[in-house]
Amino acid sequence: MTADVHEGAVEEEQTDVCVVGAGPAGLTLALLLLRSGLRVTVVEKSRSHQREFRGEILQPGAMRILDRLGVLEGARERGCHEHRRFRLMEQDRVLLDIDYRSLPAPYNHLLSIPQSHLLTQLLLSCAEFTTFRYVDGCRVTDLLRDDRGRVTGIAGDGYTCRAAVVVGADGRFSKVRRLAGIAAGRTEAFDQDVLWFKLRGDRAADGHDIRVFRGSGSSPVLVYGSWPDRVQIGWTLPHKGYQAVVRGGLGHVKQQLAKAVPAYAELIDDQITSLRDLSLLDVFSGRAERWATDGLVLIGDAAHTHSPIGAQGINLAVQDAVVLHPILVEAVRLCDTSAAFLSRFEETRAPDIEAMMRLQGMQSKAMLSTGAFATKVRPRLAAVVRHTPLYRRILRTIAYGNPSIRVAEELFVA
Ligand SMILES: Cc1cc2nc3c(=O)[nH]c(=O)nc-3n(C[C@H](O)[C@H](O)[C@H](O)COP(=O)(O)OP(=O)(O)OC[C@H]3O[C@@H](n4cnc5c(N)ncnc54)[C@H](O)[C@@H]3O)c2cc1C
């Protein structure tokens, strides 16, 4: 099922749906469409599934869907850690304790799972269908159009795929979105960027919680156990402030990191040997100005990009695929892939996305903002939230997104 497309080779094919991008959104959608009897080609620029600093926290909402699709168990067997709580700590004080164990089993935890485990399992399930084609190592550089300007396929690296519909599932810097002339709608809604790194060692597997530490005089830090025996650390720094931080050199950066998470100072000293051990995430949010044009629709990060706060990216990407699935099945069946028809996806899904963006903005201000006022108000605010019904509402929204989203299994063919 896998096809490598090399420079100079010219290959052309025809399918029902051509999905650009084999991330969580693209592969989940591909599997749903294959189960519904459609022909699907997925085109992916990368040759491997290694996504070192990418989303690897699964929320219960995504777990439930992936389980319905029969991929969760296999992905879990490749290795993962369960986390029970999300905790906001100031010095030794727990300010906020979001306990997933109060949700109904079996999805009453967070799952830290390398994205490669999930993508490999999704791909294996897709490969069971003879109507599936996976073209990796192929970077899409052009959209094909008919004489009325309607998108009719994609091209790149000597490969061409004509399709009834093209789906742009190619992530936050979507090339497909740009080629379609759709603005990303980027907003600098957050005050922080995140510097990610991983550490090995005895301390690495400690704890079953995802924690945000706020120390005095240092930026907040996110810490959690990452499979197999690593601790993943996300150090927040002022938005666009990375250059200023690294100007002081590696020693200065290490000093700052050690100050932010003193418990890991020794491991930081041993294991961070170059700035290349650190990976900067430019945090922004964005909502594409429209999600469909004639013959093309955007999903996942390509349609809406989020801050990593609250670990929502995969949840939203997987749910996007579930919402788009019945719309695409009908579009192909009716031979109506007009912008008007495909825009049903945005009409249905945009309210969920906007609600999540609002919640993430509030979370960011409540947890990450520095300054005397925020520091004074935060413990009181956290105490109030903990003892009100608002706490359960926040937990449910973070865990499930829109809890009413269900896989349209009635569309599956034997
Ligand atoms: C550092 C970081 C940490 C994160 N942490 C979390 C987390 O803990 N939990 C969470 O839920 N989310 C997290 N996210 C967000 C999450 O990774 C994304 O929201 C999620 O992966 C989006 O899925 P997607 O399928 O829409 O896009 P992506 O996962 O970005 O997949 C897009 C795919 O398209 C391919 N592609 C791109 N351009 C082309 C092209 N021109 N031609 C062919 N293929 C192309 C890419 O190689 C990629 O495979 C994090 C993101 C980052 C960057």
- Reported as a single tens digit per residue, the pLDDT across 144-164 is 999 999 999 999 999 999 999
Q: Ligand 1 atom closest to Cα of 315?
A: 11
- The residue among 60, 31, 121, 45 whose CA lies nearest residue 407 is 31
Cα dihedral across residues 188, 314, 295, 7: positive or negative: positive
Q: How far is the CA of 372 from the centre of ligand 1 (A)?
A: 35
How many CB atoms neighbour CB 60 within 10 A? 24
pLDDT > 80? residue 265: yes
> Tokens for 36?
């519904």
Name all residues whose Cβ lies below 6 A of ligand 1: 20-26, 43-46, 53-57, 139-140, 169-171, 175, 196, 281, 300-301, 308, 311-315, 317
Classify residue 170 as left (phi > 0), alpha (psi -120 to 50) or beta: alpha
Q: Ligand 1 atom closest to Cα of 302?
A: 26
pLDDT tens per residue across span 169-225: 999 999 999 999 999 999 887 778 999 999 997 555 556 899 888 776 667 889 999
- pLDDT band for position 165 (cuts 50, 70, 90): very high
Instruction: Indicate which residue's Cα is closest to atom 5 of ligand 1.
Output: 55
Highest mean pLDDT among 2-11, 132-141, 387-396: 132-141
Q: How far is the CA of 22 from the centre of ligand 1 (A)?
A: 9
Q: How far is the CA of 49 from the centre of ligand 1 (A)?
A: 11
Q: How far is the CA of 301 from the centre of ligand 1 (A)?
A: 7
Q: How far is the CA of 235 from the centre of ligand 1 (A)?
A: 20
- pLDDT band for position 127 (cuts 50, 70, 90): very high
> Tokens for 47?
């040759």
Separation between Cα atoms, residue 196 and residue 348, nearest integer Å: 34
Residue 168, SS3 per DSSP: strand
Amino acid at 313: G
In 28-92, at which residue ranges do the beta strands (DSSP E only) sit?
Answer: 40-44, 57-58, 81-83, 85-90
Instruction: Indicate which residue's Cα is closest to atom 31 of ligand 1.
Output: 23
